[in-house]
Amino acid sequence: MDSLLDALKAISEATRLRILALCRTGELSVNELCEILGQSQPRISRHLKLLVDAGVLEKIPEGNSVFHRLSQSMTGGQIARQIVTLLPESDELLLEDQERLAKTKDIRAKNAAQYFKENATQWNKLRALHVDEADVESLVTSLIPPKQAGELLDIGTGTGRMLEIYGPHTLKSEGIDLSRHMLAIARSNLDKAAIQNCRVRQGDMYNLPYKRQSIDTILFHQVLHFADDPSRAVEEASRALRPGGKILIVDFAPHKVESLRSEHAHRRLGFPEKEIKGWLEAAGLKIVSIQHLAGDPLTVSFWLAESP
């Protein structure tokens, strides 16, 4: 009863209702909300604190920024979603907020496009080294069909491509990444795809911000070759996996393309089949499948494991 009353009290103010209407379509930073609503940072921050304290919103720190989104909690989050559906679509103030929100998302998209433009040569060189990405994605979704993924976590989400593929079919999907550049791109891509049940946040693969046995499916898609201690990342992921849940690792087989280490910060030049199999088994997981897509010079390997 108390949590219900707290949520209703927090929501019952015009600016806070506007904030909920804006956050229903994705994550927004404090600065973005200030620009859209035309109010000062201290004032918006006070509103946000009330909504967070009442369990209506949740905040996601990311470097010097803090993003906010509708809470995943059973009480505050559900109330917020139900009330947002009751807001009049013809309300002039809300329509103006949505117009400014669209401009904000357009700026995100332009910034993401500029980053890719500046780094396009490197991305294209990497793509040319291994098999077609469509073939990789096809095998990924055959190993873990999207409709069977449940609640999904994409570790090292990068551009959010896995979230785009799985998001429309899962109960809930999240991606974490340390790079704020990549998170900005992922948010822009999710905005374009109009996928609302996916979220991204800054996070550390060695210290996942999730409870024990809370996730159904975990993906490591082309990320472990950047890791200092990939075996520890696998062990930490297994902690968060529900019984019967699955982990899929997609990475390169051993290779000798030294430029990936010197120019693209790859710490490992691929992984032997036996090595990753050993990490998964040491983490208490059962190997379900190991497959390879041969490329020249890079072969992409797939390790699928299940929690007992």
**pLDDT tens digits for range 184-237:** 889 988 988 888 889 999 899 999 999 999 999 999 999 999 888 899 999 999
Q: Is the peptide bond before 297 cis (omega within 30 degrees of 0)?
A: yes
Distance from CA of residue 262 to its chain's centroid?
Answer: 28
CA distance 280 to 264: 26
Q: Which superfamily does 129-306 belong to?
A: Vaccinia Virus protein VP39 (3.40.50.150)
Q: What is the dihedral of CA 211, 213, 218, 224, to 10 degrees?
A: 70
pLDDT of residue 245: 97
pLDDT at 112: 61
pLDDT tens per residue, range 8-30 = 888 889 999 999 999 987 788 89
Rounded Cα gap, residues 74 and 3, in angstroms: 10
Residue 44 near residue 30, CB atoms below 8 Å: yes
Beta-bridge mates of residue 57: 70
Count of CB atoms situated within 10 Å of the CB of 141: 16
Tell whether the model's pLDDT for residue 117 goes beyond 70.
no
Q: How confident is the model at residue 261 (pLDDT cuts 50, 70, 90)?
A: confident
- What three-state secondary structure class fits 107? helix
Q: What pLDDT does 160 receive?
A: 92
Read off the pLDDT band of 127 (50, 70, 90): low
The domain ranges of the chain are: 2-102, 129-306
User: To 5 degrees, how large is the angle CA 192–CA 176–CA 60?
Assistant: 85
Query: Is residue 128 predicted with pLDDT exceeding 70?
Result: no
Higher-scoring residue by pLDDT: 281, 106: 281
CA dihedral for 290, 280, 178, 297, sign (positive or negative): negative
Report residue 161: phi and psi, to 5°.
-60, -40
Note the CATH number of domain 2-102.
1.10.10.10
Residue 130 has pLDDT above 70, yes or no: yes
How far apart are the C-alpha atoms of 94 and 132, rounded to whole Å?
A: 44
- Pairing state of beta strands 300-306 and 57-62? unpaired
Q: Which of 79-88, 162-171, 241-250 has the lowest mean pLDDT?
A: 79-88
The pLDDT of residue 121 is above 80: no
